[in-house]
Amino acid sequence: MAFMAQIRLSDVPGAEDAGDTLASFHYCEECTHDGAMSFGWDDRDPPPRRYDVRFFEDAATLVPDGLGARTPPVLPSRSVRLRRVVEVPTPLDVGLEDGDSPDDYPSGEDDLDENLYRGLLHVPRSKIGGWPSWVQETAWPRHDRTWRFLAQFDWVLGADASWGGGGYAYLFFRRTRDRWEGELGIQTT
């Protein structure tokens, strides 16, 4: 699997209590080239799984395996610049049915307009934390709201990735009693 990204959970707004936990995302680009693109959590069966979202607690103690095996990078290296905003979710993300949104619910001039409504923003591009910018319908992992939004990688950042033709890769996470879990969702236009 090709390495895609790693994110320190304490850098995700609202997950500062995660300590030194590192999320690592890998994706089988070769599977896509062979005609078996994974769109994430809803196509996990039958095995094999074609992506991996894994968590490493106490990341500072990780030791490289020294094997020297490397895959070509798919996503370019980027650093993150924190910009604190109050981000507005979609009505479906807060449990409203389609069409039940308030009459004055924010709407921008186009899908990439961040300035939606009275100082509220929705960041439509690559980001860590906040709310997903769904290309299609709302699609939280397994339709379970216990998952939290980790990050999204847009078609610009992921131009050389499987979703690069006009979509997003969405990462989600949650903590169960004894471990971290992660999931992927991909939507394309």
pLDDT the model gives residue 119: 58
Quote the number of domains for the chain.
1
Sign of CA dihedral 52, 58, 59, 62: negative
pLDDT at 79: 73
Q: What is the mean pLDDT of the segment spanning 91-119?
A: 62
CA 95 to each of CA 14, 68, 144, 179: distance values in angstroms, whole numbers, following the listed order: 20, 47, 12, 27
Position 7 in a domain: yes
Tokens coding 25: 């995302």
Residue 55 lies in a domain: yes
91 occurs within a structural domain: no
Average pLDDT, the chain: 80
- Residue 97 domain-assigned (yes or no): no
For residue 154, CA distances in Å to 7, 9, 89, 144, 187 come to 16, 20, 17, 23, 10
Report if residue 57 sits inside a domain. yes
CA distance 15 to 131: 14
Q: Which pLDDT value is given to residue 101?
A: 65
Closest CA to 148 of 51, 22, 13, 43: 13
Q: Which domain range does residue 29 map to?
A: 2-63+70-81+135-188
Mean pLDDT of the region 90-116? 63
Residue 125 lies in a domain: no
Q: Quote the pLDDT of residue 63.
A: 81
How many CA atoms within 13 Å lie on the side-chain side of 9? 27
pLDDT category at 155 given cuts 50, 70, 90 is: confident
Is 128 contained in some domain? no
pLDDT digits (tens, 9 = 90+) for 23-40: 999 988 888 878 888 888
Whether residue 105 lies inside any domain: the answer is: no
Could you tell me where the beta strands, DSSP code E, fall in 132-179? 148-153, 167-175
Tell how far CA 113 is from the center of its chain. 20
